[in-house]
Structure 1
C-alpha cells in the first residue's frame, strides 16, 4: 500500500504535497488505471489532513483529467490510453465516411488476393508506420516552470528512438502545432490532460509515458542508517521536489536530505562534501562524478554515487517505438 506523508514544517502547502504524491503514484503505475484511490477517511487517518482538504485534492485531480469520481463507488485512476484512442478514432469515422469505404474496398481486395486479416493488417500498419516515421516529428511537452523534467524525457527518448526529438513548453504547444500538424506529442501522465486539450482539436495524437517507479532506489533509502546525509541531484526541479516529499514520507527526520539541480555548482559542491550517499538521474551523473573528483583531496571518504538507470519505463519506450514504426 502506498504511504503518504505530509511534512508539516514545509513551505509547500499540505494539499500540494498530497497532490504531488498521488500524481507520482499514478505516473509510476503504483496506482494503475482503474485503481480505486483511498477514501478521504483513510487518507485523513494516514496523513492527519482534514477530509475537506483531501476532497479538494481529489477534485483537482479530477479537473486535471487524471481520475474519475464515480458516485457511490469512489475515485478511480482514469485509463488515459483508452480516452486517447476513443477521441482519435470515433470522430474520424463519422467525419470521413468516404475514406472509410476506401479502406473497406482495399481490405476486400487484399482478402481476394489471398491475404489473411492479420497479413492485411500488417501491410496497412507497415505503410502507415513508414509514412509516420518519415514525416512525423516527436514533440516532448511539459509546463515551462519545469523544463528540466522535459529535458530528461527528451534525452532518454533521443537515445532510445534514435530520431530527432524537440522539447516544447506546454504553453507554446498550440502555436507549434499550428505551424506543423504532423507528429506525435509525448508527455508524462502528469500532464496528459492539458496536452490532450491542446493537441486533440488539431488531430495530433498524444502518447503518455510512464516514469520509472524508483523501486530499487527506494529500497536503498529504506536501508540507509539513521543520520545519513543523502544527496539528490537532478536536471528537473520538479523531480527534486517530489523526491524530497517521498523520502520524508519513508524516513521522516531519520535522514538529512540535500538537493541540487544540475548547474547549481554551489549546492552540488555542498552535497559532495556532506553526503554519504548521492542519487542522481542519468543527465546529472557525469557532472556529479566530476564534482566528486574535483573535491577528492578534501574528502576523507568519497560519497557513494547511485545513478538511476532510466526515467521512462521500458514498456513506454517499446510502445512509443511501435507507434512510430521504429520496430
Structure 2
C-alpha cells in the first residue's frame, strides 16, 4: 500500500496534499486502471486526516474523472484515453488539451535519465509544492526612499492577479525573508541586482518586472506648445524625477514640469491650478480627479488629464501569472 504523507505545517491544505498525491499515484500507474482505492477508514488511520476530509478528496477525484464510485463496492481508478476504449477528458484536459502530452514527455525524459517512477513522483511533487508555497506569499521589494513605486506595483498587481500582495522596503527584505519558509519576490528591473543579492541565500523566487514604455505619452509631450505646464502625479517620487529628466532631454526649457505625489495636497493643488496637461498613474488618478473638481471655481480651463495605462508591462504581468499558476 502506498504511504501518503501529509505535512501538517505546510501552507498547502491537507486535502490538497492528499488529492495531488493520489492523482500522481494514478498518473504514474502506482494505482493502475481498475485499482480499488483504500477505504476512507484505512486512509484516515494512515494519514491522520478526518474521514470527511478523505471523502471530500474522493468526490473531487471522481468529479475530475480520475475515479468512479461503484455502489456497495468502493472507489476504483478509471481507465483513461485509449485504455477505456474512448477518450475520457477531465475538465483540465478539455481546457489544456496538450497538458497530458507535456506531462508524459517530462516523465519519459526523467525515466530516460535513470529516475524511477517513485523518484519522478518526488521530483514533481517537490516542485509543485514549492511553487505553491512560493505563490502563497507575493512580496514587492522597493527602496525605502521611493517606497511609492512599490505601492504602485502592489496596486497594479493586486488588480491584475486578484491576490494579496505586500510591499517591503529593500532594507527590510532580509529580515522579512528570515521569517518565511518560501515566497515570491517581485521588483522592477531597476532594482533586480540588489534584490537578488539579498534573496540569494533564501528559499524564494525573484522575478523582475519590466515597466511600461510610456511611448504614447512621450509622443504627446513632443507636440505640446512651448511654455505649457505639464503636471506629473504618481505614487512614486522616483517616477516624477525620471519624468523631469526625460522631458528636459526632449524639450529643454520649453515646458514647465511640476511633479507631486497624490498625498501631497499642497503640490497637487498647485499643479491642478497651473498645468494644461496632467499625466497620472492609475492609482493616483482618483485623487487628481477629486483635486480638479475641488478647484473648478478657481480655474478658467480644467487641465487635460491623461491616465497612464499601467506601470508594469503587460508581458511581465502575464509571465508572473504563469509563474504563480494563475493563468
Range into which the TM-score falls when normalised by the shorter chain: 0.5 to 0.7
Q: CA deviation at 1:120?
A: 3.2
Aligned to 2:252: 252
CA distance in 2, matches of 1:126, 1:258: 54
Matches within 5 A, 1:279-290: 279-290=279-290
Question: Across the two proteins, how many residue pairs are aligned to each other?
Answer: 223
**CA apart distance, 1:324:** 0.4
Shift in alpha-carbon separation, 1:116–1:280, aligned structure 2, 3 A: closer
Match of 1:132 in 2: 131
CA gap 1:170/1:121 in 2 versus in 1, 3 angstroms: farther
Work out whether residues 232 and 258 of structure 1, in 8 Å CA contact, stay in contact via their aligned partners in 2. yes
Deviations 1:61-112 (A, max 9, x none): xxxxxxxxxxxxxxxxxxxxxxxxxxxxxxxxxxxxxxxxxxxxx9x957xx
Q: Tell whether 2:303 aligns with 1:303.
A: yes
| Residue in structure 2 matched with residue 146 of structure 1 by the alignment | 146
The residue number in structure 2 matching 1:119 is 103
SS of 1:225 mapped into structure 2: coil
Q: What pairs with 1:136-175 in structure 2 (closer than 5 Å)?
A: 136-175=136-175
- Checking the alignment, whether the CA contact within 8 Å between 2:140 and 2:166 is kept in structure 1 is yes
Could you say what secondary structure the match of 1:242 adopts? helix
**Residue 198 of structure 1: CA displacement?**
1.1
Q: Cα RMSD (Å) of the superposition?
A: 3.0
CA distance in 2 between partners of 1:194 and 1:203 (Å): 17
1:215 aligned to 2:199? no
| TM-score, normalisation: structure 1 | 0.63
Counterparts of 2:152 and 2:184 in 1: how far apart (Å)? 18
- Report the structure, 1 or 2, having the larger helix content: 1
Query: Which residue number corresponds to residue 263 of structure 1?
Result: 263
Unaligned runs of 5+ in 2: 1-24, 33-80, 82-98, 108-120
Question: What is the match of residue 323 of structure 1?
Answer: 323
SS at structure 2 position matched to 1:258? strand
CA contact under 8 A between 2:183 and 2:203: conserved in structure 1? Answer: no
Give 1:180's aligned residue: 180
- Write the distance in 1 (CA, Å) between the matches of 2:129 and 2:307: 36
Distance in 2, Cα, partners of 1:117 & 1:146: 46
| Alpha-carbon separation, structure 2, partners of 1:126 and 1:305 | 50
Spell out, residue by residue over 1:5-28, the C-alpha distance to the aligned partner (whole angstroms, 9 max, x if none).
xxxxxxxxxxxxxxxxxxxxxxxx
How many Å separate the matches in 2 of 1:282 and 1:140?
18
> 1:126 offset after TM fit, Å?
9.4
In the alignment, structure 1 segments of 5+ residues that lack a partner are: 1-105
Aligned partners of 1:326 and 1:193: how far apart in 2?
26
Q: What aligned pairs does 1:49-128 form with structure 2 within 5 A after superposition?
A: 109=28, 118-120=102-104, 128=127
Task: Report the secondary structure of 2:200's partner residue.
Answer: helix
Alpha-carbon distance, 1:119 to partner? 2.9
Q: After superposition, what is the alpha-carbon deviation per residue over 1:13-64, rounded to whole angstroms, capped at 9, x for unaligned? A: xxxxxxxxxxxxxxxxxxxxxxxxxxxxxxxxxxxxxxxxxxxxxxxxxxxx
